[in-house]
Structure 1
Amino acid sequence: MSNPSKRQMKSAARLYAVQALFQMEASGQTVEAVRKEFEDFRFGGEFEGDEMVEGDVEHFRAVMEEAVNRQALIDQMTDRALVAKWPIARIDPTLRALFRAAGAELVEKSTPPRVVITEYVDVAKAFFPEGREPKFVNAVLDHMAREAQPEAF
């Protein structure tokens, strides 16, 4: 993508944040190490033969920082949004990373919750193009958004 818009760059930053949070959990790497790898090699770089979109670095950093610093709060919100038989520890690690990134934006409150929901449902569609996960993500994030920002509904 030659000249992405600010919105496209924020969307890319959200996708990268989910990937980075997943990588942190899977590898045990620090937030600093993963953030540096993404900023140095993924943003606008080439990955497995594909040109990567330039992401909004500031938004990526803000989502990562909030997700890491407020993970316990975000995980508790996610648990409350999930049915009792499915605590966050039992869900797919990609979805767990997605809920943490989206939760970071919901608790930080600088982006309208409906925008956060729409953006992360789109991220879910990128990871799960054939499955029911995007509808699941929509329902969980709607519940989380109403808890984090009830005044917006």
Structure 2
Amino acid sequence: MAQLAEAEKARAEPQLSSRQRRARTVARLAAVQALYQMELAGEGVETVVSEFRNFRFDADIEGQPLAEADEDWFSDTVHGVVEHQRGVDEAIKARLASNWRLERLDATLRALLRCGAWELLHKPEVPREIVIDEYVELAKAFFDDAEAKFVNAALDGVARDARD
């Protein structure tokens, strides 16, 4: 699926300012990081969400402020993925090759797919193209093109299953 330019995103989500769209992107990245942290450290959802709200958001790195995050979007996403994980995982598994299991995927890749699939399943007001584009771009921050293309294909399949 073709990536949307920022102008196309603005037309697709006219109710959001560019600052709000950026804050939502930061929230999506934080949600992926939170799910990754929960899986590797075995921490609960409330602990991780509180940690992000109290210590990570509105922080700075070497005197430079971090980008603002939509903290409510972050919390909704993390809680939503955890609450609906069985259905989210089933939606993803339906789009994996028959010889692949979700557990075989890298933990970061799993977190990306879970967040994207949850949005596609539970946030119908967000255009599918935006959800897919956002998580493909996040995948590019962590992986090579092959994984980003995998995220694109898997989430496109989930979107077709969930929204068509």
Query: What is the TM-score normalised by the length of structure 2?
Result: 0.84
Residue of structure 2 aligned with 1:115, choices 130, 140, 151: 130
Residue of structure 2 aligned with 1:76, choices 83, 86, 90: 90
**In 2 relative to 1, CA 29–41 (structure 1 residues): closer, same or farther, beyond 3 Å?**
same
Q: Secondary structure at 1:60's aligned position in 2? A: helix
Q: In structure 2, give the amino acid aligned to 1:113.
A: R
Q: Which residue of 1 aligns with 2:10?
A: none
Q: Spell out, residue by residue over 1:35-66, the C-alpha distance to the aligned partner (whole angstroms, 9 max, x if none).
A: 01111122131358764221001110111111
Q: In structure 2, give the amino acid aligned to 1:35.
A: V
Q: Which residue of 1 aligns with 2:109?
A: 95
Query: What is the TM-score normalised by the length of structure 1?
Result: 0.89
Q: Which residue of 2 aligns with 1:85?
A: 99
Aligned-residue CA RMSD (Å): 1.6
Identity %: 43
Counterpart Cα distance in 2 of 1:110 and 1:60: 16
Counterpart Cα distance in 2 of 1:98 and 1:51: 25
Q: In structure 2, give the amino acid aligned to 1:120.
A: Y
Q: Which runs of 5+ in 1 are unaligned?
A: none
Counterpart Cα distance in 2 of 1:48 and 1:35: 23
Q: Is 1:62 aligned to 2:85, yes or no?
A: no
Counterpart Cα distance in 2 of 1:92 and 1:25: 11
Runs of 4+ in 1 over 3 A off after TM superposition: 47-51
Aligned residues: 146
Counterpart Cα distance in 2 of 1:56 and 1:39: 10
Q: Which residue of 1 aligns with 2:151?
A: 137
**In 2 relative to 1, CA 68–124 (structure 1 residues): closer, same or farther, beyond 3 Å?**
same
Q: Quote how far apart the aligned CAs of 1:113 are.
A: 1.1
